[in-house]
Amino acid sequence: MFNVNKVREDFPILKREVHGKPLVYFDNAATSQTPQVVIDTIVDYYSNYNANIHRGVHTLSQEATDKYEEARIKIKRHFNAKEAYEIILTSGTTHAINMVASGFETLLSKGDELIVSALEHHSNIVPWQMLCEKTGASLKVIPMTDEGVLDMETYHKLLNESTKLVFCNHVSNALGTINPIEEIIEAAHKFNAAVLIDGAQATPHIKPDVQALDVDFYVASAHKLCGPTGVGLLYGKQEWLEKLPPYQGGGEMIATVSFKKTTYAGLPHKFEAGTPNICGGIAFGAALDYMNSVGFNEIAAYENELLVYATQQLEKIEGLKIYGTSANKTAVISFNVGAIHPYDIGAILDKLGIAVRTGHHCAQPIMDYYQIPGTVRASFSFYNTKEEIDVFVIALQRAVAMLA
């Protein structure tokens, strides 16, 4: 049985107060909180075996190397990659997307087409726009509907022999919509187009199987998975990773160096120049261990309870409009109340101890579609409670009364 009170004991930050009120943390889509076991892993690294990896014969270096590569194997197993060397450790989702975009610069030419969804975070738009400017390729957009779902009929019409790459988020960070990535991947592959899925918002709620999806690239960040900031992953099929050139040059990514010629290391080191975030990688593995111990089926079921309950309570507030009403979504609610600016609501909620996100959520095209400046976004995690939602709703009603 899932016991949220027992889970909450694992997160020390949930005991703190903000402005004299118990913290209610509903900004999980921006970053999740960190359980004690992950904090302990970070402390253990710096206390007992802090050393550079892959380069030393001394004991600390060997211990750190072993722990780092063990984490890579944990990530490989979690995402069901075929090989551990298909897991490239990055500084996060944005870094991973830019690595792929940079690599495709050598594979694209004028007349080629890329397809992006209208539901993307800026980090899955801007790198591809920059790539199109460099190569002469063009960018096509899968439109969205009023419900915040993709127009799949139009997507199928956009695909053609010139399509080289399709990129889409698994879950919208602004609306919580779960996109039909299986259909997107299968359709793209019929035209021999590669597919990159941004899993940053999906992976806290869904355990993706990259082999079952048959996806070419999948990217995610540890800090949304109860891990530390500054570390993430790029999964790539071996065949694609071998086609792409190194993202940057430096130590670790080489086989041999001379002033006449340099040869590159094999996977995954070809894409991991320089000293990585060693502690972050190890802690990423610990975070996955923790979340798997809780259970992703249990997490998904409980978070859906929170989503349904919060939606029911919020819909009772006069003038409140929810954006993103797909029947298939994660525990995210984006809303506005009348003509009140979302920032003003967020500022008052903060004074009452409640952390939400306000603004366009790095998804400005979505806000432009709805013709709004932004939204208030409440995003829930498996350590949140219905009692916290009640506190949030009462505080929101108070804020609305003050601002009306």
C-alpha closest to that of 80 among 210, 183, 167, 201: 210
Q: If DSSP codes are grouped into helix, strand and coil, which group holds residue 334?
A: strand
Q: Which residue reads 């029911």 in tokens?
A: 312
Per-residue pLDDT tens over the stretch 134-154: 999 999 999 999 999 999 999
Per-residue pLDDT tens over the stretch 14-69: 999 999 999 999 999 999 999 999 999 999 999 999 999 997 899 999 999 999 99
C-beta atoms surrounding 216 within 10 Å = 23
Q: Are 175 and 326 in contact, with CB atoms under 8 Å apart?
A: yes
Query: Are β-strands 87-90 and 232-236 bridged in parallel, bridged antiparallel, or unpaired?
Result: antiparallel
pTM, two decimal places: 0.97
For the chain, what are the domain ranges? 4-28+295-403, 49-292
CATH 1.20.1250.20 applies to domain 4-28+295-403: no
C-alpha closest to that of 149 among 180, 122, 123: 180
Span of 139-148, 164-173, 179-188, 259-268 with lowest mean pLDDT = 259-268
Query: Distance between CA 159 and CA 298 in Å, rounded?
Result: 37
192-212 average pLDDT score? 98
Please report, as a single letter, which amino acid is at residue 258: S
Q: Which residue reads 């525990």 in tokens?
A: 331
Per-residue pLDDT tens over the stretch 244-294: 999 998 888 888 888 988 888 899 999 999 999 999 999 999 999 999 999
Tell whether the torsion through CA atoms of 144, 146, 152 and 157 is positive or negative.
negative
Query: Residues 162-173, buried b or exposed e (16+ Cβ, 10 A)?
Result: ebbbbbbbbbbb
C-beta atoms surrounding 174 within 10 Å = 30
Query: Distance between CA 122 and CA 392 in Å, rounded?
Result: 29
Q: pLDDT grade, residue 361 (50/70/90)?
A: very high
| HSE toward the beta carbon, residue 101, CA cutoff 13 A | 27
**According to CATH, what is the number of the domain 49-292?**
3.40.640.10
Q: In this prediction, what percent of the chain has a pLDDT beyond 70?
A: 100
Residues 6 or more apart from 20 whose CB is under 8 A from it? 353
Q: Are 240 and 217 in contact, with CB atoms under 8 Å apart?
A: yes
The pair of three-digit structure tokens given for residue 71, joined into one six-digit string: 């984490």
Q: Are 356 and 349 in contact, with CB atoms under 8 Å apart?
A: yes
The pair of three-digit structure tokens given for residue 83, joined into one six-digit string: 């090989």
Residues 6 or more apart from 312 whose CB is under 8 A from it? none
Please report, as a single letter, which amino acid is at residue 57: V
Residues 6 or more apart from 308 whose CB is under 8 A from it? none
DSSP 324: -
What is the DSSP code string of 13-41? GGG-EETTEE-EE-BTTT-----HHHHHH
Residues identified as active-site: 362
| pLDDT value of position 281 | 98
What is the DSSP code string of 179-200? P-HHHHHHHHHTTT-EEEEE-T
